[in-house]
Structures are given as structure tokens and as C-alpha cells.
């Protein structure tokens, strides 16, 4: 997958998350964002925001998640001494469950696949080696004397 295909796929995920049904709605990306923001406002009235703690597995996921939060006007933060991969935010449970988390998972998965593909290709080109998993072997028992 090249970079443009990745961008197109990520935009498609965003359209699906916002409820867009046709390719023509891509032109109305700002309207899609507004639909999600309206959904967020509706959820907040029905289901008041509570503090969430999200723990990301890596900095790439964290960057995507923080960007999504900021895109929807949500201020991410973390407390002193929390890990850099921890993200705190005040959100409605409904918004997290129905909109934010599914969109994040789709985008993060797509980006991870792309980064893995690029990494494998670069390792093969630069180091002339495959980056497959290592062999799994049985652990040797220690002989005590």
C-alpha cells in the first residue's frame, strides 16, 4: 500500500464513522466532522462525561488517539508521573463505545499494517534479510551440580 492509498483508506474510515454512506460525501468532510460533533453533544446531554484513562501500546497509537480527541474538541491530558502512553479525557461512555473507540481501532489497525509493511520492505531492501519471527525453541533445563 502506498501513502496515497493509506490516506484514502483512513478518509474512508472517517466517513464510515461519521455515518456517511456515499463516495460523494467525501467532498463534505467538514460536514462529516460536524455530524460526529453533534453526536458528541447529544451523547453528553444524555450521558454526562466521566474521566477515562486510556493506555496505548505505543507512541504511534497515542498520536492517532490524541489527534482524534483534539479533532472532536476534547482536551487530552495526563497526570504527573503517568506514562507518556497514558491519555486521560472526559467523555461520555456512549461516545467512547459507539464512535471514538471504533474509529480509533480502525485507523490504528490500518496505520499499523502500513507501518509494518513499510518496515518489512525497508529491512529487506537495506539489510537484505527477512524480518520474520524468530524460532521458538524449548528451554534447556539447567543441570545443577
Looking at residue 15, its pLDDT comes to 63
Residue 143 lies in a domain: no
Looking at residue 89, its pLDDT comes to 97
Alpha helices in 72-139 (DSSP H): 93-95, 101-127
Residue 78 lies in a domain: yes
Expressed as residue numbers, the domain containing 61 is 3-106
Instruction: Render each residue's pLDDT in the chain as its tens digit; 145 residues.
Output: 566 666 676 666 666 655 555 556 555 666 767 777 777 777 777 888 899 999 999 888 999 999 999 988 899 999 999 999 999 999 999 889 988 999 899 888 888 888 888 888 888 887 877 767 788 888 887 777 6
pTM (two decimals) = 0.67
- Count of the separate structural domains present in the chain: 1
Looking at residue 115, its pLDDT comes to 85
Residue 32 lies in a domain: yes
Residue 21 lies in a domain: yes
Residue 137 lies in a domain: no
Residue 114 lies in a domain: no
Q: Which residues contact 59 (CB under 8 A, 6 or more apart)?
A: 84, 85
Residue 113 lies in a domain: no
Residue 85 lies in a domain: yes
Amino acid at each position: 500500500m502506498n501513502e496515497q492509498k493509506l490516506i484514502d483508506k483512513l478518509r474512508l474510515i472517517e466517513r464510515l464513522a461519521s455515518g456517511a454512506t456515499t463516495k460523494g460525501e467525501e467532498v463534505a468532510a467538514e460536514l462529516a466532522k460536524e455530524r460526529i460533533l453533534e453526536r458528541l453533544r447529544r451523547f453528553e446531554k444524555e450521558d454526562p462525561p466521566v474521566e477515562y484513562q486510556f493506555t496505548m501500546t505505543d507512541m504511534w497509537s497515542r498520536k492517532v488517539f490524541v489527534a482524534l480527541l483534539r479533532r472532536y474538541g476534547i482536551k487530552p491530558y495526563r497526570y504527573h508521573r503517568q506514562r507518556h502512553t497514558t491519555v486521560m479525557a472526559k467523555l461520555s461512555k456512549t461516545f467512547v463505545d459507539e464512535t471514538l473507540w471504533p474509529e480509533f481501532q480502525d485507523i490504528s489497525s490500518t496505520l499499523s499494517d502500513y507501518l509494518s509493511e513499510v518496515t518489512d520492505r525497508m529491512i529487506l531492501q537495506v539489510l537484505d534479510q527477512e524480518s520474520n519471527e524468530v524460532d521458538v525453541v524449548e528451554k534447556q533445563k539447567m543441570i545443577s551440580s
